[in-house]
Amino acid sequence: MSKLTHFNDQGTAHMVDIAKKAITHRIAIAGGSISMQHETLHLIKEKNHKKGDVLGIAQTAGIMAAKKTSELIPLCHPLSLTHINIELNIDENTNTIYCECRAETEGKTGVEMEALTSVQVALLTIYDMCKAVDRGMVISNIKLLKKTGGKSGDWVRR
């Protein structure tokens, strides 16, 4: 089994040294979902929510979150992101909104944390904007779907 990289030999937390790592094109895709009452989904879909365009605001929040990830996760390196794309898809059969974020960079470390943070915050924004009408919403299945680049190579969830 591999060892945890965020601890030194004395067991103290530290930021991983990436100085000698190669700069590569890195991509991470993360996803998750929020389920809700049918009426809540209808408000969002029809853009009848009194707070405005819920999905548009959630996309913006997700982009902002990706840019702030290193400020939220203590040992995460600050990255120069080259691209963030957030897709929000409505499934009326299950009253669910699926969120997927694709994050990209040219760098020495991956963008998995940025993609995961982006999905979380986009879904939390939907919750925040709709909690007055539906406190029973459930955010779930936040996960890394794919990553490419770097020394460890490509990984795809199966």
**Residues noted as catalytic:** 128
Q: At residue 139, what are phi and psi to the nearest 5 degrees?
A: -90, 130
Handedness of CA 97, 98, 104, 108 (dihedral sign): positive
Residue type, 56: G
* Matching residue, tokens 């909104």: 97
Strands of the chain, DSSP E: 24-35, 81-91, 96-107, 138-148, 155-156
